Chain A
Amino acid sequence: MPEILDQARTQVLGDGVGLDEAGVLAVLNLPDEHLPAALQLAHDVRMRWCGPEVEVEGIVSLKTGGCPEDCHFCSQSGLFTSPVRSVWLDIPSLVEAAKQTAKTGATEFCIVAAVRGPDARLMKQMREGVAAIKAEVDIQVAASLGMLSQEQVDDLVDMGVHRYNHNLETCRSYFPNVVTTHSWEERWETLRMVRDSGMEVCCGGILGLGETVEQRAEFAAQLAELNPHEVPLNFLNPRPGTPLGDRPVVEGKDALRAIAAFRLAMPRTILRYAGGREITLGDLGTRDGLLGGINAVIVGNYLTTLGRPATADLDLLDELKMPVKALSATL
């Protein structure tokens, strides 16, 4: 057994204290023959500190495309030659999407907009949309609207948005290679305001942007410092027309190593499978990740791409005897 896994067994599984950056890097550098042991330990940590439940979420794009920012992975930037056009979702369709999501057994519904930050029109649409959903659908509403002012944070709390997603995307040292129109620190400031407001913080990122394995460890440590309620873990799905459109996808074993490492860095967080798992891990890898530290999934489609049918994930959870977290357990 590698020394780092012995250390993690005592420190993380036993005491609930996550690995530091050096420890995460050691896990990320484990040879393939030790990957099953790392995944098993990460699974044990998840079961001990989070339990067997899996949180299921659906997401929808309220405002697609035409974003003024230049996040190099994103097909919704208006600065690239992506084929994604700008489109708004109307309130009845938003409510219908929430109903579709609730039918899967999901307890979370995240409303997302491709913007630098919300303007008055978007905040008005959010207020009307969240109220309409709460009137008709039994589901928790989360939001992801970019960078916020303190007034907007307060407005979202007033609407009843219980969790706010704002991904740091990658580590601080690599961020300028991925985004040039705003800074990592600006994102951190929004996260600080969200945290102080009492909303749950959802913050993760994307692996495979060209970061080194050392920077992947740096990212895990920075997320652990933030201590978010939830960490969505995406794997780059290279999008045509974006600056990262020709990057290779993350190798399956590297993705699984990252899942185990991030779990060992953050034993108590909700670690969610987000975009890209279909092409990076496939069906078998998806299963391995759920047995290697993951305890939440996005079901159904993503914002501009499609996911596995929700039934495929729900059937897998049933087979693995992992109960879907009930709504009452999240309130």
Chain B
Amino acid sequence: MTTTELWCDRCGDPAPAGTAHPGCASARELEPPRYCHRCRRRMKVQVLPVGWSAVCVEHGEIRG
């Protein structure tokens, strides 16, 4: 793992283009992210009735 490599935030596999794979991107319309796209760590995700939050221990929180 390098700091320049990017990961799919749904499946955690490499995504060098910096975006989710096409199939994953489609699924992500109805799912929050599960992996940090910067380091591949599994995030702690809380889904709420409106929105979600995802926390990477290294890279902090994102919300959607």
Interface residues of A (CB under 8 A from B): 58-61, 64, 83-87, 89, 93, 96-97, 100-101, 104, 240, 278-279, 299-307, 310
Contacts known (A84-B34, A240-B11, A306-B52); A301 close to B47, Cβ less than 8 A: yes
A59 touches B30 (CB 8 A): no
Q: How far is the CB of B43 from chain A (nearest CB, A)?
A: 7
Complex interface residues of chain B between 26 and 46 (CB less than 8 A to chain A): 29-32, 34-35, 42-46
Please indicate the chain B residues that have their CB under 8 angstroms from the CB of A278 in the complex.
Answer: 30
Please, how many angstroms separate the alpha-carbon atoms of A93 and B30 in the complex? 22
Report how many residues on chain B are interfacial, defined by Cβ distance under 8 Å. 19
Please indicate the chain A residues that have their CB under 8 angstroms from the CB of B35 in the complex.
Answer: 83
> Other CB < 8 Å A-B pairs besides A64-B47, A83-B34, A96-B48, 13 of them?
A59-B49, A60-B47, A60-B48, A64-B46, A83-B12, A83-B42, A84-B34, A85-B44, A100-B49, A301-B48, A304-B45, A306-B31, A306-B52
Please, how many angstroms separate the alpha-carbon atoms of A44 and B44 in the complex? 45
Q: How far is the CB of A308 from chain B (nearest CB, A)?
A: 9
Selected A-B contacts with CB under 8 Å, 19 pairs: A84-B34, A84-B45, A85-B42, A86-B44, A87-B45, A89-B46, A93-B46, A97-B48, A100-B48, A100-B50, A104-B49, A278-B30, A279-B30, A301-B47, A301-B50, A304-B31, A306-B29, A307-B30, A310-B50
Q: How far is the CB of A246 from chain B (nearest CB, A)?
A: 13
Please indicate the chain B residues that have their CB under 8 angstroms from the CB of A86 in the complex.
Answer: 44
> Which residue of chain B has the shortest Cβ distance to A309 in the bound complex?
B50
Q: How far is the CB of A258 from chain B (nearest CB, A)?
A: 21
A306 is contacted by which of B42, B46, B47 (Cβ under 8 Å)?
B47
B47 is contacted by which of A61, A85, A104 (Cβ under 8 Å)?
A61
Please indicate the chain A residues that have their CB under 8 angstroms from the CB of B43 in the complex.
Answer: 85
A301 touches B49 (CB 8 A): yes
A60 touches B12 (CB 8 A): no
Please indicate the chain B residues that have their CB under 8 angstroms from the CB of A300 in the complex.
Answer: 49-50
Contacts known (A83-B35, A84-B34, A278-B30); A301 close to B45, Cβ less than 8 A: no
Please, how many angstroms separate the alpha-carbon atoms of A278 and B29 in the complex? 11
Contacts known (A58-B49, A310-B50); A305 close to B44, Cβ less than 8 A: no
Please indicate the chain B residues that have their CB under 8 angstroms from the CB of A89 in the complex.
Answer: 46
Contacts known (A83-B12, A83-B35, A240-B11); A305 close to B46, Cβ less than 8 A: no
> Which residue of chain A has the shortest Cβ distance to B24 in the bound complex?
A240
B31 is contacted by which of A60, A61, A305, A310 (Cβ under 8 Å)?
A305
**Chain A CB within 10 Å, residue with most, of B35, B48, B51:** B48
Please indicate the chain A residues that have their CB under 8 angstroms from the CB of B50 in the complex.
Answer: 100, 300-301, 310
> Which residue of chain B has the shortest Cβ distance to A301 in the bound complex?
B47
Q: How far is the CB of B11 from chain A (nearest CB, A)?
A: 7
Q: How far is the CB of B38 from chain A (nearest CB, A)?
A: 16
B46 touches A101 (CB 8 A): no
Q: How far is the CB of B60 from chain A (nearest CB, A)?
A: 15
Please indicate the chain B residues that have their CB under 8 angstroms from the CB of A84 in the complex.
Answer: 34, 45
Q: How far is the CB of B41 from chain A (nearest CB, A)?
A: 10
Contacts known (A83-B34, A83-B42); A303 close to B49, Cβ less than 8 A: no
A93 touches B48 (CB 8 A): yes
Q: How far is the CB of A93 from chain B (nearest CB, A)?
A: 7
> Which residue of chain B has the shortest Cβ distance to A304 in the bound complex?
B47
**Chain B CB within 10 Å, residue with most, of A58, A86, A93, A304:** A304
Q: How far is the CB of B3 from chain A (nearest CB, A)?
A: 22
Q: How far is the CB of B15 from chain A (nearest CB, A)?
A: 15
A306 touches B48 (CB 8 A): no
Please, how many angstroms separate the alpha-carbon atoms of A306 and B27 in the complex? 10
